[in-house]
Amino acid sequence: MTKRQPARWTFAAIAVALICFARSELRLTATTPQHGNPTNPSVAQNWDTIAVDVSIERGIIDPNGQPALPATPTVTYRWEQTRVTGRWRSTLTVLNLTGPVVGDADGRPMQLENPFAVSRIENDGDGTPDRIYDRRGNLLPPLRSPARGPATALTASLPDHLSRPPGLTPQPRSNDGTRLFATLIAAATDKGVRRAALVRAYGSPTGVVNGLTRFLRTNGQEVQEVLFDEHAAVALERNVARAGALTAHTAYSYAPWGADGDLVRTRISHEELLSDSSGRRSRAQVSFSSVAVEKRGR
């Protein structure tokens, strides 16, 4: 038992870290929906469940865009939130985790599998610790944090600020499925709300770049730029520069969702400078698919 525990904690930490990346990069354009779009046939009336497949790829690249280190294993999971008796129950189920590739005795590539990797995390939304299961279905010890006591991994990595652009007042941490909806769905009825939130955070636009409205915000030597599509009312790019050099770039992709002009977020691509001397950058891509908004309760 003592030999297995480190592996459990390692893979649990990886799962939580991947979700935390998604949280930090999803926050830009999501706004709590004021009305949503009840006429969208993809959204069930009085819905109580939202689910999405999330795939995350990460790696380190050199200044020429070539891999500098072996890529982190790709992970795909199903993220589901269901409203149950006034609270939101959250479940994360790993659908695919690509193990590391090593050479066997003959030098041929071989993919490693770990039966103790986290396969499912459940959170009841009532303050109780998460239930974490390995691939064999065994219940693992709950994660603990020195600062928070018994940790709720999903609660800690679900959005405390998904529903606000950068610079707005933080809102209480919540497992509220409507925030996940606002993260994934850009409702046509909320175009004005999204643009107004961006103006509050960045001020008035400063011009147009490649047909996109440009918003700027300066903090010392750091300059943040957001490029905004006025027609769809969503941000498509976010860039960060320090001392005149680009240090981070994020691109957001959307696709039509339903027949009433709503959009669903499909991808976030992010690169960030790790070292000025080496020029190495971290690269991550988060993809979203199979979004479902349903009513399951009676």
pLDDT at 213: 97
Q: Which residue has the tokens 């959009």?
A: 263
pLDDT digits (tens, 9 = 90+) for 130-184: 888 888 888 887 765 544 433 344 444 333 333 333 333 334 345 567 878 888 8
Band of the pLDDT at 298, cuts 50, 70, 90?
low
Q: Is residue 237 pLDDT above 50, yes or no?
A: yes
Longest distance between any two alpha carbons in the chain, whole Å: 62
pLDDT digits (tens, 9 = 90+) for 179-231: 788 888 898 988 998 999 899 999 999 999 999 999 999 999 999 999 999 99
Q: Is residue 235 pLDDT above 90, yes or no?
A: yes
pLDDT at 273: 94
pLDDT at 277: 87
pLDDT digits (tens, 9 = 90+) for 240-265: 999 889 999 999 999 999 878 899 99
- Full-prediction pTM beyond 0.85? no
Q: According to the 3-state scheme, what is the secondary structure of 255-285?
A: EECCCCCCEEEEEEEEEEECCCCCCCEEEEE
Residue in 228, 192, 195 with CA at minimum distance from that of residue 212: 228
pLDDT at 240: 94
Name which of 90-104, 108-122, 246-260 the model is least confident about: 108-122
Domain residue spans of the chain: 5-294
